[in-house]
Amino acid sequence: MKKLAILGSTGSIGVNTLDIIERFRDKYEIVALSAGSNIQLLKEQITKFKPKVVSVLNKPLAKRLKEELAPLDIEILYGIEGTNNKETLVMAGKIVMKEAKENGVTIFPIDSEHSAIFQSLLGHQKKDVKRIILTASGGPFLNCSQEELANVTIQEALNHPIWEMGKKITIDSASLMNKGLEVIEARWLFDIPHEKIDVHIHPQSIVHSMVEYIDGSVVAQMGLPDMRGPISYALAYPERLPTELPSLNLLEIDKLTFDLPDEKRFPALRLAYRAVEEGGTMPAVLNAANEIAVEAFLNNKIGFTGIPNIIEQTMNSYKVKEINTIQDALEADSWARMKAKVLV
C-alpha cells in the first residue's frame, strides 16, 4: 500500500487526487494533508481519510480545526512556508532534479502536458528526441485583439473554455504564462534544452503534448481534458487505474487544430523563454513577479495587459545570479515580489 501526503488537498488537483484514492482505498493510504483556509472542505477530507498529520495556513485556523476535530487523534500544524511558492521546478529546477537524481527519486508529473511528455518518452532514448511540443488551449482570449485584451474584465479572464481551475492558474492560462512556466518545468523534468521545447495552440485540448524524434516520428498522448487521467497514471505507474472516464470519441470531436502562439499579444510566453535562457535566479524572479501581477489584476489594481508589463519591468531591473542553494531562489523571489509591488 502506498502512503501519500497531499499538498493543497482542497485545490482542484488535491480534490481530484482524493476522488481517485477514495475509489482505491485498498491501494493508497493518506498520511498527511495540507490546505490553506478552506477549513470546511478540509474537515470533510480529514473525517473521510483520517490522516495522521494536517497542516493549515495559520495558528487561528489550526486552533479552530483542533477544537472541531478534538475526538480524532490528528497532529495539526500551521505555517505559510509550504504555501508561498508552488512553482518549485520553476524556481529551483536545477537543485530539485539534482537532489532527486542523487537520492534515486523519480518525479512523476501530474500536470497533463508533462504527463503526456512522460508517456510519449517511454520506450525511447533521449538522444533520439528532436523536440518536445507542449500544447496549450489558448485560454478565453485566443482570438482577441490587443485592444480587446487591454479591456478584459476579471470575470472574462476567469472564464476558461475547457478547464476548471483555481483563479491564479486560470489567469495564467489566459495570459499563456502557464505555458511559459511549463516550458521551464519541462526543461528540468526531462533534461531537455529550452531550444528544443516548442508550444502549439490546440484549442480542443485533446492532444496533451507530443514528442518528435530525429527520424520524423511524432508520439502524442491524447485523452479527454480531465485531470483524473494524468493523476491516476502518476499514482499507479507503471500500471494504470480504471478511472471510468468516458471514451475519447474522435468522430464526435471531428477535427484537431494547431497553431503558433502570438507572442505580441501574449508576451508572457516570450518572457518565460527569456527567463530560462538567462537561467540562474531569473525564473524565480519571473514567477514571483507574475504572482504579484496576477494578484494585482484580480484586485482591480492593473489591467490584464499590465500583468506581462509588470513582469518584464521587474526582470529588466534584476541582475541574474547563479542558483546553488534554495536560499538563492528564495532571495530572488523576495526581491522580485517587493519590486513588482512597487511597480504595481
Q: Which residue has the cell 493508497?
A: 28
Residue 313 parent element (H or E): helix 306-316
Distance CA 339, CA 318 (A): 9
Distances in Å between the Cα of 179 and the Cα atoms of 143, 283, 326 are 17, 13, 24
State which residues of the chain have pLDDT below 50: 82
State the cell numbers at 139: 485560454
Distance CA 114, CA 111 (A): 5
Please classify residue 313 by burial: count the beta carbons closer than 10 Å to its beta carbon, then call 0-12 exposed, 13-18 middle and 19+ buried: middle
Q: How many CB atoms lie within 10 A of CB 229?
A: 22
Radius of gyration over every alpha carbon of the chain, rounded to an integer in angstroms: 20
Tell me the per-residue pLDDT of 227-246, one tens digit each, with 9 for 90 and over: 999 999 999 999 999 988 99
Q: Hey, CA dihedral for 237, 239, 241, 245, is it positive or negative? A: positive
- Residue boundaries of the structural domains of the chain: 2-84, 88-343
- CATH class of the domain defined by 2-84: alpha beta
Nearest to 170 by CA among 188, 183, 152: 152
pLDDT value at position 166? Answer: 79
What does pTM read for this prediction? Answer: 0.93
Q: How many CB atoms lie within 10 A of CB 104?
A: 6
pLDDT value at position 36? Answer: 86
- Asked if 54 and 32 touch (Cβ cutoff 8 Å), the reply is yes
pLDDT value at position 82? Answer: 47
Tell me the per-residue pLDDT of 286-342, one tens digit each, with 9 for 90 and over: 999 999 999 999 999 999 999 999 999 999 999 999 999 999 999 999 999 999 999
- Roughly how many angstroms between the first and final C-alpha of the chain, as a whole number? 49
Q: What are phi and psi of 126, to 5 degrees?
A: -60, -30
pLDDT value at position 81? Answer: 54
pLDDT value at position 220? Answer: 98
